[in-house]
């Protein structure tokens, strides 16, 4: 019997460090909101610690769960993830800040979009791995892939969550690109995706105004440009070394929910450029190991699964950092492994657990 290989230690270490940084920064950035809204400064810290502990159990479970078994149940996983998304439109659905994206299950809420992301990646990996050449054929490969992308992203857009839909769409397109789709089909997919984003923006007044504010945030600094301007103030005031942990000024009700969609700006304000650079380097380390695993795994399903998970983390991280630096229009998207949010944290840690299990089936340096 072959000796069981160890998981990729570098990937595991970078993940744990990012989660640890997340716990610290969620506590620091959430204190004012927690005192004001919950009358308990430790409210968000407790939630993040509990989610981190649960996420660690999920990570170790999937690290020891043979990922090849996921291929056999890919279809039920995908269907269940879509059904969870439909729960938003039932009495179980909950609306916050004008968006209906959460489901209440008696003792807690969760975001079905996170389940849809990982369910879609698993199913797309299964679909692409059945025949490596069918993606070159429009009817057998491209059209079914387009249907998978359309259903998954469409269900999230129906929840008024365009940023998550774009993140998932780009992730799934990156998977079909790795599968070998012809450039002409890729261009068509890109054009259709761009048109869909344009229509989604034009369909909502607040999205149109955010696009206008993106061109000059300071011109709209009292309304639609407010978050971008305050985020830039936070990053700019941090300098090289930052104001010091816990000493952010923008978290005092200038940036809405600074522990979530704009947590990177608080990292920049409190820990400075060096703190931001440390976080970025840890993400680059995680992404590099994910790419190495995808390149070295010996089966197609594992390759596509590792590609999808790595692409999802990469794209969501890039969008979050681009938003807080006002490089793209303002939108709400958390920073993987760091931002507050139990569902997101547990799902991302579970996904990395799958990646760690795939690393056990590769020939690479695990140090």
Band of residue 1 on the pLDDT scale cut at 50, 70, 90:
very low
- Other C-beta atoms closer than 10 Å to the C-beta of 20 total 13
| Of residues 15 and 187, more confidently modeled | 15
Greatest mean pLDDT among 24-28, 186-190, 199-203 lies in 24-28
Domain ranges of the chain: 69-203
**Distance between CA atoms of residues 188 and 153, nearest Å:** 17
**pLDDT at position 367 over 70:** no
Q: Which two tokens stand for residue 40?
A: 């308990």
Bridge-based pairing state of the strands 99-104 and 93-96: antiparallel
| Of residues 200 and 301, more confidently modeled | 301
Greatest mean pLDDT among 45-49, 215-219, 296-300, 327-331 lies in 45-49
- Find, among 348, 297, 183, the residue nearest to 305 by Cα: 297
Burial (CB < 10 A; 0-12, 13-18, 19+), residue 210, is: buried
Half-sphere exposure of 355 (CA within 13 A, CB side): 33
**Distance between CA atoms of residues 313 and 162, nearest Å:** 17
- Find, among 5, 2, 9, the residue nearest to 285 by Cα: 9
Is residue 297 within 8 Å of 362, Cβ to Cβ?
yes
CA-CA distances (angstroms) from residue 296 to 12, 134, 290, 307, 354? 18, 22, 10, 11, 15
> Would you state the pLDDT for residue 2?
46
- Name the region of 278 (left: φ>0; alpha: ψ -120 to 50; beta: rest): alpha
CA 194 to the chain's CA centroid: 20
Q: Which two tokens stand for residue 367?
A: 């140090």
Is residue 145 within 8 Å of 127, Cβ to Cβ?
yes
**Distance between CA atoms of residues 250 and 41, nearest Å:** 17
**Distance between CA atoms of residues 228 and 50, nearest Å:** 31
- Other C-beta atoms closer than 10 Å to the C-beta of 344 total 25
**Distance between CA atoms of residues 10 and 16, nearest Å:** 10
Mean pLDDT of the chain: 91
- For the entire predicted model, the pTM comes to 0.94
**pLDDT at position 363 over 50:** yes
Tens digit of each residue's pLDDT (9 = 90 or more) over 98-135: 677 888 887 778 888 999 999 999 999 999 999 888 88
Is residue 171 within 8 Å of 312, Cβ to Cβ?
yes
> Would you state the pLDDT for residue 72?
94
**Distance between CA atoms of residues 70 and 297, nearest Å:** 16
């Amino acid at each position: 019997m072959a000796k069981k290989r160890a998981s990729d230690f570098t990937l595991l270490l970078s993940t744990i460090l990012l989660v640890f940084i997340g716990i610290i920064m969620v506590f620091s950035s959430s204190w004012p909101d927690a005192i004001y809204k919950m009358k308990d400064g430790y409210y968000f810290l407790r939630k993040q610690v509990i989610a981190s502990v649960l996420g660690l159990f999920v990570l170790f479970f999937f690290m020891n769960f043979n990922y090849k078994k996921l291929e056999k149940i890919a279809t039920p996983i995908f269907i269940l993830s879509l059904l969870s998304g439909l729960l938003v439109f039932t009495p179980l659905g909950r609306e916050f800040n004008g968006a209906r994206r959460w489901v209440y299950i008696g003792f807690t809420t969760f975001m079905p979009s996170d389940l849809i992301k990982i369910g879609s990646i698993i199913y797309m990996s299964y679909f692409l791995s059945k025949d490596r050449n069918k993606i070159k054929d429009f009817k057998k490969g491209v059209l079914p892939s387009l249907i998978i992308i359309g259903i998954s992203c469409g269900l999230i857009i129906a929840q008024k969550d365009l940023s998550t839909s774009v993140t998932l769409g780009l992730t799934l397109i990156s998977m079909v690109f790795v599968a070998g789709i012809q450039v002409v089909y890729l261009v068509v997919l890109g054009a259709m995706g761009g048109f869909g984003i344009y229509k989604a923006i034009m369909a909502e007044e607040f999205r149109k105004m955010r696009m206008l504010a993106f061109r000059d945030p300071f011109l709209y600094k009292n309304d639609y440009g407010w978050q971008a301007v305050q985020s830039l103030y936070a990053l700019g005031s941090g300098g090289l070394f930052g104001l010091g942990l816990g000493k952010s000024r923008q978290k005092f009700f200038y940036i809405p929910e600074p522990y979530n969609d704009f947590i990177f700006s608080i990292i920049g304000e409190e820990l400075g450029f060096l703190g931001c650079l440390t976080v970025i380097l840890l993400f680059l380390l995680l992404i590099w190991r994910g790419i190495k695993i995808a390149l070295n795994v010996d089966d197609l399903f594992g390759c596509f699964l590792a590609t999808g998970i790595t692409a999802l983390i990469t794209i969501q991280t890039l969008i979050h950092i681009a938003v807080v630096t006002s490089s793209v229009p303002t939108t709400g998207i958390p920073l993987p492994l760091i931002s507050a949010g139990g569902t997101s944290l547990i799902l991302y840690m579970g996904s990395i657990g799958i990646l760690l299990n795939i690393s056990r089936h590769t020939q690479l340096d695990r140090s």
